[in-house]
Each structure stands twice: as structure tokens, then as C-alpha cells.
Amino acid sequence: MTPNVKLLDINNVAIGIKRRKRETLVIVREANFDVNYGEMVGIVGESGSGKTMICRAIIGTLERRGASVIGGEVLFEGLDLRTINEAKWKTLRGKVIGYVPQSALAGPNPVLTIEKQLAEALSQVEGTGSMKNRSKELLDLVKIRRVDTVMKQYPYQLSGGMRQRVMIACALASKPKLLIADEPTTGLDVTVQSQIMELLREIRRDLGTAIILISHDLALVDEVCDKIVVMHAGATVEVGPTSSMATPRHPYTVALNSSRIDVAKPGGELLTIKGNPPSVGQWNPGCRFAERCDYVQQDCLVGEHPALSGNKGEHQSACLHADKIGKI
């Protein structure tokens, strides 16, 4: 593990979807964060805030959905991923950058046994020893017991947690430097969730893999990640080391924090965020959170979306009035 060296740098990235009449709908703009080697970074935000789109940009699958990076830089080990061709992508995607998609339950191919599933992933990477032994090693790695039985089973015979482990095993086949887990525990039990989180932590510790964890559960991200990135309406509104995020400096993070159920008193005040997130790409001038914000001022409603303050790696906020937070 090389601490504090940048593995991935998302620099002012904008993503757009092509619509009819050469019109482009911008769905992400001003996304900014970086991931160091061996670091665990959590991305939180409401549905539609652009979390998954950013991930697709990192693994180069945006084009398949008619979207593309239209601005900024996606630097992976210094290489701008916008500039590389499909042949180069094939050496990165699923190899250096692993991906665990959102729907774990639908993830594994239903007509392949787990052994074939893993063999398919392993066939893409070089290695020594028989395919069977390498598959077994992978299942051991993700703490699946009764390996021999599981190898012969089909996905429908496995529980949700087991299927998610298999998906993680596939993603780990090539020992990636970066693993992206897109809401890996949505729809799973709390007990299974805590096991999967433990597993991710162990993978990070033992293999030195950097992990991006996408979630809308702030409590979860708070507990396992080194760094937290908060997204709202396609922009990074706050980013910082987990410890510093205890005192949020963006009203959206404040609002997210106060809607946390684990810190609320039973039956007590549970603050909700006013209104709904702005529709994708339909943004008013100025700060995109202004309409829902308790701290809104005149200057929030004009010009561009505020840029993040400070330097990368520090606690940054995209609020013009960050100094007033907690003082109203």
C-alpha cells in the first residue's frame, strides 16, 4: 500500500447524455474528488445525484448508455481515461479496476454454475495453477464456506449475501488496484450488510485495494470509509476525511445528517430535506441546492454553481456561506 499517493483523480468532471437534435443533457457537472492507493472512499447522495454515472465514467461504460464525459479529467494513475481507446480499456476494465454492480441479486449469470462464473472471470487474467484451484482460492478470499458445494451451485441456490460475495470474488479475480462497489448491500439484511462491509475492509487491508463505496446510507459510509464525498444534483458539494465530516460544512450534508435515523430520538424530530432533488439536468442558475437550503442568500441564486473551496485532500465545501453553518 502506498499511502497518500493519488490513484484516481476526478477533476471537474461533467457527464452528458445525447438527446435528439444534437442537444446534450448534462447530468453531472463539477464532480471533484480523488482516491489514494489503498484508500476507502464513500460516495453518498440521493438517487439521481450522479453517483453511479461517475462510476461508469471510471470503468468506461458510459458510452454504452449513450452518455459520455464532456468535460474535466478522469485521471487513473496519471492516465486520462477520456483519451484512451477500447483496446486500452480492455486492459483496465475488470482488470485494474474492478466493479461490483448495484443489483447483486441479479448480478451473477443465472445459467452458469459458480465455478463457470469464476472461470470466466479468471480466463481474462493470467495466473498459475488449475482454474479450479484458482476459483477455490477466490471463494476462500471472500469467506465462502463449503467451497466445493458452492462451486457446483447455480446463483438461485445461493442467498443474497452469498451472491454478493460471488460478485466480489469475480471482481477480485485480477487483483485490481481499485474496486468500485455500487450500493453493494442494498436489499440485503443488516447482518449480511455488516459481514460484507467486514469483507471489504479485509480486502482493503490484505490486498491493499483502494475501494469506492457508493451508498445512500451515511451511517454506513461514516463507519467504514476514510474519506466521504457528498454528491447533490451531479456536483460534489462536500468532500473530506471522515473525521472532519462530523462537522459538515455544506447545508446538504447537514440536512442528510439530521435525517439519519440512527442518531434520532425515537419518535422525535427527524428533519427532512425540503422539496425534491432537482430533476436531472434541469438546474436553476447558481447553487443547485439553493431551493432546498435553509441558509440561502441572494448571491446563491445567481451565476455558476459554487466551486469547492480549498485544496484537494482537505475538507472542501461548495457552499458560499459555509462559515454560517451551525450558527443560524
First to last CA, the chain: 43
Nearer to other proteins, 93 or 163 (CB): 163
CB 283 → other proteins: shortest distance, Å?
A: 17
Nearer to other proteins, 198 or 304 (CB): 198
CB 242 → other proteins: shortest distance, Å?
A: 12
Parallel, antiparallel or unpaired: strands 178-182 and 97-100: parallel
Neighbours of 156 (CB within 10 A): 8
Neighbours of 111 (CB within 10 A): 9
CB 132 → other proteins: shortest distance, Å?
A: 31
CB 145 → other proteins: shortest distance, Å?
A: 18
Nearer to other proteins, 110 or 266 (CB): 266
Neighbours of 241 (CB within 10 A): 13
CB 275 → other proteins: shortest distance, Å?
A: 10
Nearer to other proteins, 148 or 189 (CB): 189
CA distance 24 to 39: 34
Strands (DSSP E) along the chain, which ranges? 6-18, 24-36, 40-44, 67-76, 79-80, 97-100, 178-182, 210-215, 227-232, 235-241, 316-317
Amino acid at 14: A
Nearer to other proteins, 83 or 191 (CB): 191
* Interaction site with other proteins (CB under 8 A): 46-48, 159-160, 187-194, 197, 216-220, 222-224, 255-256, 259-264, 266-267, 270-273, 276-277
